[in-house]
Amino acid sequence: MPTQYQWPRLSPIATGVRGRCPRCGEGHLFQGFLTLREKCEVCDLDYSFADPADGPAFFIMMFGCIPSMVFAVWLQITYEPPLWVHLFTSLPLLLLTCILPLRPTKGWLVASQYYHKAQEGTIDRDWRNT
């Protein structure tokens, strides 16, 4: 089995958006829709380093959900359409802009954590002596 240093550095966008392992680019990152696997089935990379937390949801809400809701509110205020218009325009738009991008965004964030060797922040200096 190759060591970590024998794997090429792969782009987080290329691997994460496709839901592939950030180290080898071949194994699957997800088990189900948003659940991360424990490790890669190809290179045995342990995914315990990955902690995207609420990052994907935040990005999707800011760049997908809010503009979609603004459109729905604008449509209602401007044209006052019946409910069925919202069922065929606003609801599908919300689903497309809020649900579908979650998996690629989470994959990209996990791959970026691996690529940049991100970890929890620490304070190296002693604050009592300052």
The answer to whether residues 36 and 50 touch, using CB atoms and an 8 Å cutoff, is yes
Counting the structural domains of the chain, the total is: 1
Give the model's pLDDT for residue 121. 76
In-domain check, residue 126: no
Residue 31 CA to residue 37 CA, distance in Å, equals: 5
In-domain check, residue 124: no
In-domain check, residue 61: yes
Give the model's pLDDT for residue 35. 95
Q: What are phi and psi of 59, to 5 degrees?
A: -60, -45
Other Cβ atoms closer than 10 A to 21: 27
In-domain check, residue 123: no
Query: 100 is written with which tokens?
Result: 């579908």
In-domain check, residue 23: yes
Give the model's pLDDT for residue 123. 73
Residue 49 CA to residue 115 CA, distance in Å, equals: 11
In-domain check, residue 128: no
Tell me the C-alpha to C-alpha distance, in Å, between residue 119 and each of 52, 69, 88, 114, 128: 11, 35, 43, 9, 25
Structural domain including 35 reads 4-116
Give the model's pLDDT for residue 122. 76
- H-type helices in the chain, by residue range? 12-16, 55-60, 66-79, 83-88, 90-98, 102-115
Give the model's pLDDT for residue 87. 97
Residue 127 CA to residue 130 CA, distance in Å, equals: 6
The answer to whether residues 90 and 72 touch, using CB atoms and an 8 Å cutoff, is yes
In-domain check, residue 40: yes
Over its length of 130 residues, how does the chain's per-residue pLDDT go in tens digits? 555 568 899 999 999 999 999 999 999 999 999 999 999 999 999 999 999 989 999 999 999 999 999 999 999 999 999 999 999 999 999 999 999 999 999 999 999 999 999 888 777 766 666 5
Give the model's pLDDT for residue 129. 61
